[in-house]
Amino acid sequence: MTSNYQPIPLDYQEYDPEVMQRRALEYYQSIKKRRSVRDFSGRKVPSGVIENALLAAGTAPNGANMQPWHFVVVENAELKSRIRQAAEAEEREFYQQRASEEWLDALAPLGTDAEKPFLEQASHLIVIFLKKFSYDADGSKHKNYYTSESVGIATGFLIGALHHAGVATLTHTPSPMKFLNEVLNRPSDERAYMILVAGYPEQDCMVPAITKKPLDEIATFY
Residues in touch with ligand IYR (CB under 6 A): 91, 94, 107, 110, 112, 172-174
Instruction: Kindly tell me which of 176 and 187 has the beta carbon lying closer to ligand IYR.
Output: 176
Length of the chain: 222
Instruction: Kindly tell me which of 13 and 213 has the beta carbon lying closer to ligand IYR.
Output: 213
Alpha helices in the chain (DSSP H): 17-31, 47-57, 77-93, 101-107, 118-121, 147-165, 179-183, 215-218
The SS3 call for residue 108 is helix
Instruction: Kindly tell me which of 22 and 178 has the beta carbon lying closer to ligand IYR.
Output: 178
The answer to whether the beta carbons of residues 173 and 166 sit under 8 Å apart is no
> Which residue number has the CB closest to ligand IYR?
112
Instruction: Kindly tell me which of 67 and 170 has the beta carbon lying closer to ligand IYR.
Output: 170
Instruction: Kindly tell me which of 160 and 174 has the beta carbon lying closer to ligand IYR.
Output: 174
Supply the minimum distance, in Å, between the C-beta of residue 170 and ligand IYR. Answer: 9
Supply the minimum distance, in Å, between the C-beta of residue 173 and ligand IYR. Answer: 6
Supply the minimum distance, in Å, between the C-beta of residue 108 and ligand IYR. Answer: 11
Supply the minimum distance, in Å, between the C-beta of residue 156 and ligand IYR. Answer: 16
Strand 124-131 vs strand 133-135: parallel, antiparallel, or unpaired?
unpaired
* Spatial separation of the C-alpha atoms in residues 8 and 169, rounded to whole Å: 36
Question: Closest Cα partner for 129 from 87, 77, 187, 60?
Answer: 187
Question: Closest Cα partner for 147 from 84, 219, 70, 222?
Answer: 70
Supply the minimum distance, in Å, between the C-beta of residue 217 and ligand IYR. Answer: 19
Instruction: Kindly tell me which of 19 and 110 has the beta carbon lying closer to ligand IYR.
Output: 110
Supply the minimum distance, in Å, between the C-beta of residue 100 and ligand IYR. Answer: 12
User: 208 to each of 11, 35, 38, 163, how far by Cα in Å?
Assistant: 41, 9, 10, 18
* Spatial separation of the C-alpha atoms in residues 95 and 184, rounded to whole Å: 25
